[in-house]
Structure 1
Amino acid sequence: ARELRINIWVCLHHFTLPNWFTYLGGFLVEENRTKYWMQHVDFIAETFGDLVAGWQPVNETNYYATAGYLARGWPPGHNNVEEWLTVTQQIQLATAEAAVRLKQTCKPVVSIFGLSTLELLDDEIATHKFAERFYDANWNTGIKLFRDGILQIGTREPVLRPDLAGSFDIFGFSYYSAHGVRNGQLVAYPETEKISPLGYAIWPNGLELVLNRLKKELPNTPLIVAEYGVGTSDDNERSTYLSAGLDIVHQAIAQGIDVRGFFHWTAVDNYEWLHGYDLQFGIINSDHTTKPSSEVLRQEAKPS
């Protein structure tokens, strides 16, 4: 990679876990975080610390907890509020504690929180309750720990961890789409936009909303768009979406928002756990031929 002038950023946990860790209870068990997870972090830091350009400890902590322990979308496929609260706490602590350790390698450490905006489409009580839970889980929990050193989720007692405030060098996030809520149910938003195979609207404009909110939530904090992309077999659609996202980032920088970088998801079409090879995110085909959308990055992105 060095010979090809490619900077490698390493993510230590991207949704999947070894069976033995899962059999021990995964992130439902505090000892698994403090002992086995941190052993993993130490090993990766010591083995690859001199080879990487930067670190991203845990990918989309909020999505991992919700999809696996509340929405039944990913393994272990549970729907248990108490388990979800526990895993949310543990995975947030896991990524922040890993960040503190990885900083010792003198390489930048970036978070990856899955962020999107939510539009309330009616005034029902269920809608307002859903919105409160949505922002609590997807925005407030991770940001408050990073900004204030306080971990609070739902009605649980806050965990005071001042040592984890400012644990990341740069606040990174993923953006794929906005959401709407009607009668307490999540729906695609805007409803007038084309819906992706994953069920959300293909709407780059929400990236601007996320950046503006982060500027208010985390003033004077450098930001990175850690994931941005669209799952589609229509590469013209990808080119349009990618170009629009880059334009939004350029505009944000011009307006004084400190955006340090942009990662596109993804380079090469990958195997999506729930969709196989049919859902294409890459600017490069699985046979390693480039797609026209790769030219968008070449023309618009400046090398680091």
Structure 2
Amino acid sequence: MENFHWGVVQSAFQFEMGDPLRRNIDSRTDWWAWVRDPFNIKNDLVSGDLPEEGINNYELYEIDHRLAKNIGLNAYQLTIEWSRIFPCPTKGVEVEVERDSYGLIKGIKITKETLESLDGMANVHAVNHYRAVLKNLKKMGFSTFVTLNHQTLPIWVHDPLWTRSEFEGSKAKGWVDEGNIVEFVKFAAYSAWKFGDLVDYWATFDEPMVTVELGYLAPYVGWPPGILNPDAAKRVIINQMVAHARAYDAVKEFSKAPVGIILNIIPAYPYRPNDERDARAAANYDYFHNRLFLNAVNEGRVDLDLNWEEVKIKHLARNDWIGNNYYTREVVKWVEPKFEELPMVSFVGVEGYGYSGNPKSVSPDNYPTSDFGWELYPKGLYDSTMEASEYGKPVFITENGVADSKDVLRPRYITEHVEQVKRLVENGADVRGYFHWALTDNYEWAMGFKIRFGLYEVDLITKERIPRRKSVETYSRVVREGLE
């Protein structure tokens, strides 16, 4: 299949830091504060590992690009870190904001004067760095995919410790605060203006529902701000939808490249398929986790109150392509709705399946589980991507990988999931790319360095990239053979 994109993917916070002289530390993100908080460490909400001990892609990006090229890849996905470009607030740069009849932000006017003002505030070193990275990728023949928000936020946008301890008093509440939509759009417009000549595909968000589910509905999993606040979760959902649409418009003003969104589309299956309530639980999971964003950004069908009653808001239908991050499935059963504000949250994952397995074991259906305990379920890639393809937009598999430090499962994982990509194409899905997570080991959020996803192991002392040979050879062979 010609023009298919074979790639790898990285995010800024998880891969960039680690230079021995600590010259390239980014201490201005919410996650930087979160992972070193004594309360979080003491209560095992985070590992205690620190990102500044990481793999140092910031300095060693040319080496990583060469490794990717040697595999035979032709695409590379990365994040431009908002906090590196604007380490200090941009709120002083005023813009015109237009609202619709629902009170939602319908338009944000970005002018040449806006961009010039932002240019005076931007970190020149960071701008030059990302241009150098993108230029090197283009020089080596890669298609470039750039994500604008991969979980992390500038500390002036989101202070998770302040928000957790004093929610109402916090002036940096992240996506709970509608004002940060405006700030994100400024960043998006500036990024398109500065880097648009080097970017082939833009994505606004990576996995926006993770921010919702883990940050505001599951305070025990180690995700900032670590609070239980269903009302805030609802606001975060709608504000991210609006932020995507307005960032789409802003990027399109200054770049001709397609603009999409990356979702972790998770297929949900009823624990007891013949049980009506379990079937309803699976449908509710699918609607809440997958369809809310898919319906809004692709068709402008928005569930403003999260009660299954959608309204048509045309200015939120802004999307050129869909990214699907797929790792495993969910098997769910019915529970009475957990939150009065979110009646559709009437499901719970069944222990042993999907993301709820025991590490290095097997699921009740006899599928192996990863170092993370995630079940290997390749068919879910087919089902979730077919769901995305219903919306008539090109689909990219933007993340797919397995935590497997010993390189026992990964070769099989790659082969079996690419077989599902072939099946998708054969059955008419417009799938245009597959990106493996990840080229190298990384900082895996609250889990730190003990979870290893890389095709290449990284020695955290020397920063040497050491191939996990079976996986490198498998992915290289898969790319050579293609999808025919």
Judge same fold: TM > 0.5, yes or no.
yes
What is the match of residue 96 of structure 1? Answer: 245
Q: Is the 8 A contact 2:297 2:319 kept in 1?
A: yes
Shift in Å at residue 269 of structure 1?
0.8
Task: Indicate the SS of the match to 1:226.
Answer: strand
| Runs of 5+ consecutive residues of structure 2 not aligned to the other structure | 1-135, 159-170, 336-347, 355-362, 459-463
What is the match of residue 478 of structure 2? Answer: 300
Instruction: Return the letter of the residue paired with 1:65.
Output: V
Task: Indicate the SS of the match to 1:274.
Answer: helix
The Cα offsets for residues 142-168 of structure 1, whole Å up to 9 and x where unpaired, read as 111133212215228756431232x22
Mean Cα deviation higher: 196-205 or 44-53:
196-205
The Cα offsets for residues 230-251 of structure 1, whole Å up to 9 and x where unpaired, read as 1121323111101111111112
Which structure carries more relative contact order (alpha carbon 8 Å, separation 6+)?
2
Matched, 1:27 2:201: no
What is the match of residue 15 of structure 1? Answer: 151
The Cα offsets for residues 109-136 of structure 1, whole Å up to 9 and x where unpaired, read as 2321111111111377874564344122
What is the match of residue 41 of structure 1? Answer: 188
Regions of 4+ moved over 6 Å: 123-126
What is the match of residue 283 of structure 1? Answer: 455
What is the match of residue 329 of structure 2? Answer: 178
- Identify the match of residue 388 of structure 2 among 197, 208, 214: 214
Instruction: From the CA coordinates, give the structure whose radius of gyration is larger.
Output: 2
Task: Indicate the SS of the match to 2:146.
Answer: strand
Shift in Å at residue 63 of structure 1?
1.3
State percent identity of aligned pairs. Answer: 27
In the comparison of the two structures, how many residue pairs are matched?
A: 299
- Evaluate the alpha carbon distance shift between residue 222 and residue 13 of structure 1 in structure 2; reply closer, same or farther with a 3 A threshold: same
Q: Matched residues in 2 for 1:106 and 1:258: separation?
A: 21
Q: TM-score, normalised by structure 1?
A: 0.90
What is the match of residue 247 of structure 1? Answer: 419
Instruction: Return the letter of the residue paired with 1:81.
Output: P
What is the match of residue 314 of structure 2? Answer: 162
Matched, 1:274 2:424: no
Instruction: Return the letter of the residue paired with 1:44.
Output: S
Q: TM-score, normalised by structure 2?
A: 0.58
| Runs of 5+ consecutive residues of structure 1 not aligned to the other structure | none
Mean Cα deviation higher: 204-213 or 252-261:
204-213
Q: Matched residues in 2 for 1:124 and 1:253: separation?
A: 33
Q: Matched residues in 2 for 1:7 and 1:299: separation?
A: 20
- Evaluate the alpha carbon distance shift between residue 130 and residue 251 of structure 1 in structure 2; reply closer, same or farther with a 3 A threshold: closer
User: Once superposed, what is the RMSD of the aligned Cα atoms?
Assistant: 2.2
The Cα offsets for residues 284-304 of structure 1, whole Å up to 9 and x where unpaired, read as 22222332212222222269x
Q: Matched residues in 2 for 1:210 and 1:20: separation?
A: 35
- Identify the match of residue 376 of structure 2 among 199, 202, 208: 202
Task: Indicate the SS of the match to 1:49.
Answer: helix
Q: Matched residues in 2 for 1:197 and 1:290: separation?
A: 18
